[in-house]
Each structure stands twice: as C-alpha cells, then as structure tokens.
Structure 1
Amino acid sequence: MSEQQHLERLLSIMAQLRDPQSGCPWDCAQDFVSIAPYTLEETYEVLDAIDKQDWPALKDELGDLLFQVIFYAQMGKEQGHFEMADILTNLAEKLTRRHPHVFANTALSPSSAEAVSPIWEAEKAKERAAKGQVHLLDDIPRQFPALMQAEKIQKRCAKVGFDWDQLPPVVDKVREEIDEVMAEVEAAQVNPHKVQEEVGDLLFAVVNLARHVGVKPEMALRQANDKFMRRFRGVEDFARAEKKELSQCDLATLEAYWQKVKQTE
C-alpha cells in the first residue's frame, strides 16, 4: 500500500469508529475538549521514547499521536469546520511559505541553521499580521508548560530588543527576586498570594538566566528531577541495607545517605 492508501484507510477506520449507529460508544462520545488531554499525554509519551532512544516505542507512540490528528480531523469534518485535506493543505502551504529560501524564487541562501531563523521569524510575523494580531505575545498558548511558556515569552520579546545583552544584569535580577521572596516570607504578616507572586517572578528570572546561558529550562529541570529521583532511590537502598524505614530516619541520617550516593556517582 502507498502512503496515501494508508492515510485513506486510517480516515476510513476513524469514520467507522465515530459512526453513530455502528461505531464505538466511547469514540462517539468524545469531543475536542475531551480528547485534548489525551493529545497532551501522547505528546509526552513521544518525548519519553525519544529521550530513551527507544525507536520501536517511538514508532508506536508517533502512531498514537497521529491518531489524535485523525480524530480531530474526523470531528472537524462532522461539524463542517475542516477535514484532513484542509489540514494537509494548510500545512504544505505554511511549510513552503516559511521556507522561501528553499521553495521560492529568491536570492536568499542561508548557509546555517542560525541564518534561517530570521527568515522563519519574518514569515511568522507576516502570518500574525494577516490574522490581525495586535500584540506580540497574543498567540503564545496558555496551555504550554509554564517554564516553556516563560521561555517563549522572553524569546519573542528579545527579538524586538526587549532583553539584556549582557549576563550580569540577568544574574542581578535573580538575586533581586530572591530578596523579594524572602522579604514576603519574613514579613510580620505573611500574605500567601504575595509569596506566590514573588516566587513566580523568581522562576521567571531563572528561566531568563537559563536562556542567556544557552540552556533549555524545561529540559534542565527535567534532568534535575531525574537526578534527584536517581539519588533518592540510592538513599532508599542505603536505608534498606541497614534495615531502616525512611520515616524512622532523622534528617542527619538521610543527608548522610545522600552524600554517600553522591560520592558513588
């Protein structure tokens, strides 16, 4: 079977699953809102397979993610909004429009990935203007993970010059935000909402620091999470070897185990 035939078969299967008379009751009961969490879950499973370099799993997870697109296309067709052909057409047009150096008759000939970025951004700016977008940040999804959203906001602002061009003021801002957190925490009457606000400002400043030193904050925190979990498992192993329950260990004992784990690494 050709790729086109495979796609047509998938579309046919999806239409059958959604058939009100003979389809699957669960599939028929879904709508755009109810399916959205599954799309997010499948996306993370794709990323997990990539992180593990588990290529058979990645092939499987990409299929599950594609199923989400097929599902949305079927619901869009049922409601008269769009169908798969519209999705594919729009995607093809967008890719060619955003790569004039490849598909258009132009003198543009970037020699590196860095040189392509301004071309890509210029085309995206045209698209935002065509949609009537007034403000620069309006199309940044609120559903992004918070760290990723913060990075996206900062990068977008940096492209129009609203950014520090040196590292010291970025670091100073982090220190300033730490001081403001502590001022709220140590206030005579602690306001939890103000504490949360200042912690948020601190996290935003740390994302800015990560961006300025060339680190993806989402990936950095994920790596830190993995490292902590690995080391804490080691703490559990040390406690188990001494026939102790973690709940029975004081902080000094747990810290000693932690240091042993770090030494073994």
Structure 2
Amino acid sequence: MQPSRDTQRLVEIMRALRDPDTGCPWDIEQSFDTIVPYTIEETFEVVDAIERRDPDDLKEELGDLLLQVVYFSQLAAEAGLFTFEDVVEGITRKMIRRHPHVFGDASARSARSAKGQWERIKAEEKRERAEARQKRLDTPIEAGSAAVEWSVRAEASSSLLDTVPGALPSLTQARKLQEKAAVVGFDWTEPEPIIEKLKEETAEFEAAGTAEERRDELGDLLFTLVNLGRRFEIDPDTALRGTIGKFRERFRLMEGEAEKDGRELTGRSLDELEELWVRAKRSGRSQLA
C-alpha cells in the first residue's frame, strides 16, 4: 500500500489495521473509550505546534488528529453506526446550510442577515437531531450486535446548559456555561460588578477555615475570573496558557542566571531565588527589545 493525498487511503489503512485476521494486534484491541485519551493529547499537540509557530510539527500533528477522526469512524462503521463518509457529508451539509449568505442564492447573499439565519438554522438542526435520535432509539437492535452498546441513551437534553459537554477543560466549560446563561439574560453587562464579586470571593477564600471550604472558594474565584475575562472578550484558557509560556521562558532564563553564578537553584533561599527571577525578567525584556 502506497501513501496518498486522498483521504480514502487513510480510511483503507485504518480498515486494514483493524482487520481481525491480518491487522495490528494493538489496533484490534482498541475501543472508543481507549482512544479518547489519545484524541485529547493530539488536540493539545496541535495547539502547541501553533503556539510555537512550527509548520512542520503542525502538519504532522494535524495528520495525527485526522487519524483520530478516521479511527473513531472505523469503530463506528464496525458497530453499524456510521462511516467516515457520513461524517464528511454531515459537516459539509452543515457548513453549506449554516452559510446561506455564502452558498445560497442571490437574495440570501444580499440580505447579509447572517446572525439571524445562524440562530434559525441551528434551531432547525437541533429539532432534526432530536427527531433522528428518537428514531434511532425506536429502531430495534439485533441482540449481540456491536450497536447494542449505543442503543440506550439518556433522554434528550432539557436544560439550556446540557448542550455544554462536561468533558471540556474546566476553564473552557465555565466560559461556555456563562455564555449559555447569558442567552436568557443571567449575566452582568458591565465589568464593575464582576470586579466587586471578585473582591467578595477573595475575602471568602481568606476566611475559609477548612481545606474543603478553601477548595470551594477557589473554584468560585476561578469562575468569577472567567466571567471577568469574558466581559473583555479574553478566553481564559488562552490567557492562562500565555502566562504559562511566560513562566516557562522566565524560569529557563532564571536557570541560566543561576548557572552564571556557578550554583544550582536547589539550596538557595527564597530571597536569592526572587533575585534570580528579577534578573530573568530583565534579561527577557532585553532580548525582546
């Protein structure tokens, strides 16, 4: 089998890897649940490549992420649920449908009422998904088939917040939950009351007497910080990753400053470490100048 630019070749490779007789023993043993951690890891590796502005790594990591989509699609095909082609058809249909001002007729393109169209189309899609889900649940499943595992699902979401996946990273989940609540007006429209709430939560954290209380109050603090960032259109995860990047770089410079002194960081007093940190910050600013 030869490499190809055609995504169908990737589907063929995955099908061969999963072949119960001639495939790869490791791939044959995998399931939806065992592949999930790799999908999460590959997603973050894509983000890392973008932040490092490394096009070679980004190309490779995007390929690894695409492989995850093909992997899940193959598992679904084996269970009789859907195929990779169904996934492609579904997303192309969604993009065309949600952008009538781009792909529609002349009147749709000239109207330029994209936001109103977007909300209307999403509501239609939600209704259609509910109907499709109910139809699937009403369809008899052959006993012993791989699809049995997917035949019993929870009732359709009844809360506005149920549309936010619980598996999202905590900061992202907090932002999305707040955005959903804002739809019905449960939201501050100005930053000032959020800043006051932040002061209130800080005082409550300081007054907390037990480890459990401190954990709860810290959660409240973080949730309020996410809300404050949202007021200024700042994604909390992006902001925190930026700070983490600065910390990494400054700590490396700090290690470099320590090396100049001929002593390791370990064993130094906090005051000495603080002095190295200040020198590292100055060094970092001078390199950016």
Structure 2 length as normaliser, TM-score? 0.81
More off after superposition, 78-87 vs 95-104:
95-104
CA RMSD of aligned residues (A): 2.0
Q: Secondary structure at the match of 2:163?
A: coil
Q: Is the 8 A contact 2:45 2:61 kept in 1?
A: yes
What are the within-5 Å matches in structure 2 for residues 1-265 of structure 1? 6-105=6-105, 107=108, 109=110, 116-130=114-128, 131=130, 132-184=156-208, 187=209, 190=210, 192-264=211-283, 265=285
Distance 1:89 1:256 in 2: 59
Task: Look up the match of 2:140.
Answer: none
The aligned counterpart of 2:142 is: none
Instruction: Work out the CA distance in 2 between the residues paired with 1:82 and 1:43.
Output: 23
CA separation in 1, counterparts of 2:168 and 2:10? 29
Structure 2 contact 100–108 (Cα < 8 Å) conserved: no
- Could you tell me how far apart the structure 2 residues matched to 1:107 and 1:91 are? 21
User: Unaligned regions of 5+ residues in structure 2, if any?
Assistant: 131-155
Following TM superposition, by how much is the alpha carbon of 1:255 offset from its aligned partner in structure 2, in angstroms? 0.7
* Total equivalences in the alignment: 254
Q: Distance in 1 between matches of 2:55 and 2:120?
A: 35
- Preserved contact between residue 73 and residue 82 of structure 2 (Cα < 8 Å): yes
TM-score, normalised on structure 1?
A: 0.88
1:121 Cα deviation (Å)? 3.9
Secondary structure, in 3 states, of the residue corresponding to 2:186? coil
- C-alpha change, 1:258 and 1:109, in structure 2 (3 Å) is farther
Q: For 1:119 and 1:205, locate their aligned partners in 2 and report how far apart those are by CA, in whole Å.
A: 32
Structure 1: where are the runs of 5+ without partners? Answer: none
Identity of matched residues, %: 43
Q: Distance in 1 between matches of 2:99 and 2:163?
A: 21
Whether the 8 Å contact between 2:194 and 2:224 is mirrored in structure 1 is yes
* Letter aligned with residue 79 of structure 1: A
Distance across 2 between alignment mates of 1:167 and 1:151: 15
